[in-house]
Structure 1
Amino acid sequence: MASYREIVVNSLWKNNPGLVQLLGLCPLLGVSNSVVNALGMGLATALVLACSNAAVSLIRNAVTDAVRLPAFVMIIAALTTCTELLMQAFTYELYQILGIFIPLITTNCIILGRAEAFAAKNKVSHAAFDGLMMGIGFGLVMVVIGAVRELLGTGALFANMQLLFGPIAANWQLTLLSDYKGFLLAILPPGAFLVLGLLVAGKNRIDEHLEAKAKAQEPEAPVQSRRVRVTGVIE
């Protein structure tokens, strides 16, 4: 059973669903044109992931292989519906912006994949923590992409945060580039592909650097000297 530390490292870096597994690309690229959209989608996904992992772990010994996957899908669909209703009640305008991507959480490969690969084999506490960390890892990638695209596209950050946090966040917008005319490609879907590609390349480069540094710090194996005895025959 993986430790909590291993779960955190795998979820946020080594096995990040957005940068390594490249799962959930539909919402990752579709709603990451601003920080508020990305954050709202990330929180919804993390909630469903944590709750579905916990529920799957609870029933893992009570369902047979024949109905395992249908049962998992029903759990995920029910939790997605609950999340959708919560967003309709408390963040209705953001729910309308995210649109079809909220119901599509049911078919997100990350959620069903973690339910099958981890939650169905581990106890409830570890399964719920794994789902939460995977959701946070996915959400962080989405928020970073949203921040880059929003900044390049509009010259500002944290616009319309009141859609998620209410009137208290109405003045959270930071205008970093005044009189900025905008970069349309950044807020269009091709811009999401470009930013994601740069993030994946950056992570791979960091991993290569860390691996090379670790190899350089490894002590060299001692070389054992051997005496070679040479004999010859002189005629």
Structure 2
Amino acid sequence: IPSQVRIASYIVIIATFVTIADRFMAAFFPPISKSLGPYIPLIVVNCIILGRQEAFSSKNSVGRSLVDALGMSTGFILALLVLSSIREILGMGTFLGHQVMGAWFKPWIIMILPAGAFITLGILLAVALVIESKTKKRR
């Protein structure tokens, strides 16, 4: 597989097999499929992370690969924390289970639904692009 499309190829191959397994379980083992919920499709997300790490590690030393893995995992955790914090505050009016919004606040139900994650991610990416473009203009 050419190096330019290797990670994308891994994702497509794994996503195909995961989808087949997920549909098979839904058809023949509905209770198990229902109890696992979104966790089977999340295998694909894990594949993206591992594929990216493999691509870096194959071209660098063990030390650099460890530092890269620490940096990437820290960044991923921080991104999940920011995303989930925004969704919890806007969707429930709480942060870590403590009420942070006043009685006036009406929770945004969409934020606790899967679509809320995509909306929040889109807004965060837009903000990041605006910040990046402004810092490039200053240089």
Code of the aligned partner of 1:119: S
1:175 aligns with 2:113: no
Shift of 1:128: 1.1
What's the CA shift string for 1:169-200, capped at 9, x where partnerless? Answer: xxxxx321133442110111111111111111
| Structure 2: unaligned runs, 5 residues or longer | 1-9, 11-34
| Structure 1: unaligned runs, 5 residues or longer | 1-68, 70-95, 160-173, 215-235
CA distance in 1, matches of 2:56, 2:122: 28
Identity %: 29
Shift of 1:108: 2.4
Shift of 1:97: 9.4
1:121 to 59, 65, 77: 59
Q: Would you tell me which structure has more helix in proportion to its own residues?
A: 2
Shift of 1:132: 1.3
Deviates more, 1:146-155 or 1:118-127: 118-127
Q: What is residue 110 of structure 1 aligned with on the other side?
A: 49
Q: Which has the higher contact order (CA 8 A, sep 6+)?
A: 1
CA distance in 1, matches of 2:108, 2:100: 14
TM-score, normalization by structure 2: 0.65
CA distance in 2, matches of 1:102, 1:156: 28
How many pairs were matched up?
106
1:193 aligns with 2:124: no
Q: What are the equivalent positions in structure 2 for 1:48-87 lying under 5 Å apart?
A: none
CA 99–196 in structure 1, closer or farther in 2 if over 3 Å, else same: closer
Shift of 1:125: 1.4
Q: What is residue 90 of structure 1 aligned with on the other side?
A: none
Q: What are the equivalent positions in structure 2 for 1:1-235 lying under 5 Å apart?
A: 100=39, 104=43, 107-115=46-54, 117-159=55-97, 174-179=98-103, 180-214=105-139
TM-score, normalization by structure 1: 0.40
CA distance in 1, matches of 2:66, 2:72: 10
Superposition RMSD in Å: 2.8
| Larger-gyration structure (1/2) | 1
Code of the aligned partner of 2:39: I
Structure 1 stretches of 4+ with a deviation exceeding 4 A read 96-99
